[in-house]
Amino acid sequence: MFHALITGANRGLGLEHARQLLERGWHVTAAVRDPDAASELKALPQGEGKLDVVAYDATDFESPKRLAAEIDGPIDLLFANAGMMAPETRSFGSAAGEAMALEFQVNAIAPLALVEAFADKVATSEMKVVALQSSRMGSIADNGSGGGYGYRGSKAALNAIGKSLSHDLADRGIVVLILHPGWVRTDMGGPNGQLTVQESVEGQLDLIARAYGNPAMSGRFFHVSGQDLPW
C-alpha cells in the first residue's frame, strides 16, 4: 500500500487529494493547521492504513521535523500543497513588508523544510515522488500583467527550489514534480476558476502516477494538462 503525506489537506485541493487517494486505497497522512477544526477531512475513512490527521504549521520550521519523528515508515508521495496568497502584496506601492515575508515562508521555504525533513522517508519508499504545488503565476516567462508581487515571487522561488531538489535528490531515486493545478474553484481560486477540484486532482494524480520510476519528469514544471510550462 502506498503512503502519502499531504499538507493543507483540510480544504480545497489538498482535501480532494486526500479523498481521491483514499478512494484508490492509499494510506493518507493529512497535515493541517488545526486538526480539531478539520471536520470535512475527518469525515473521510480514518484508521489503520486509511487516513491519519496530524498537526502541521508552515510558519513553524520545526513542524516538519516533529512530524517526521512521529510518522512511521516510508512516504511514497510527499505533497507540499499548503499555500497562501496575501491580498496586501498584490499591487505595486505597498507590497513589500511582513505579509510578503510570510508568503515566502509558507509558499517557498516551508516546502523545502518539509522535503529536508522527509527526504529519507521518501528515498526508502517504493514510489519516491515529491510534488510541489506551485502556480503558473510563478512563471516569469508567463507574466504578462505584472502585480502579484508576493504570490508570484514566492512561487517563482518555489520553482527554483524544486529544480535544485530535483538535482540534489536524483541519486536517491527521488522524482520532484513542480505542478500547476490549473485555475481551480477553491477559496483561493474563487468561483470563476476553470476547473473543479475533482478535475484538477484527477489530472495531478495522473501526472504523479506517470512520475513513478520516471526520472525524466523530475525538475519539470507541469500544467495539470501534462504540458510543460515555461519558467
- Does residue 54 touch ligand NAP according to CB under 6 A? no
Are 208 and 131 in contact, with CB atoms under 8 Å apart?
yes
Is 159 one of the binding residues for ligand NAP (CB under 6 A)?
no
Q: What is the DSSP secondary-structure string of 116-166?
A: HHHHHHHHTSSS-EEEEE--GGG-STT--S---HHHHHHHHHHHHHHHHHH
Joined together, the cell numbers standing for residue 89 give 502584496
2 vs 221, which CB is nearer to ligand NAP? 221
Instruction: Return the range that interacts with ligand NAP (CB under 6 A); candidates 20-28, 69-77, 177-185, 222-230.
Output: 177-185
Quick note: the x/- pattern for ligand NAP over 188-217, rule CB under 6 A, is xx---x------------------------
- Give 50's DSSP letter: S
Judged by CB, which is closer to ligand NAP: 74, or 105? 105
- Does 99 bind ligand NAP (CB under 6 A)? Our answer is no
**Residue 138 in the binding site for ligand NAP (CB under 6 A):** no
Helix (H, G, I), strand (E, B) or coil at 94: coil
Strand partners, 177: 131, 220
Question: What sign has the CA pseudo-torsion 55, 43, 205, 52?
Answer: positive
Binding of ligand NAP at residue 77 (CB under 6 A)?
no
**Should residue 139 be labelled a site residue for ligand NAP when binding is judged by CB under 6 A?**
no
Residues that bind ligand NAP (CB under 6 A): 7-8, 10-14, 33-34, 56-59, 81-84, 106, 133, 135, 180-181, 183-184, 186-189, 193
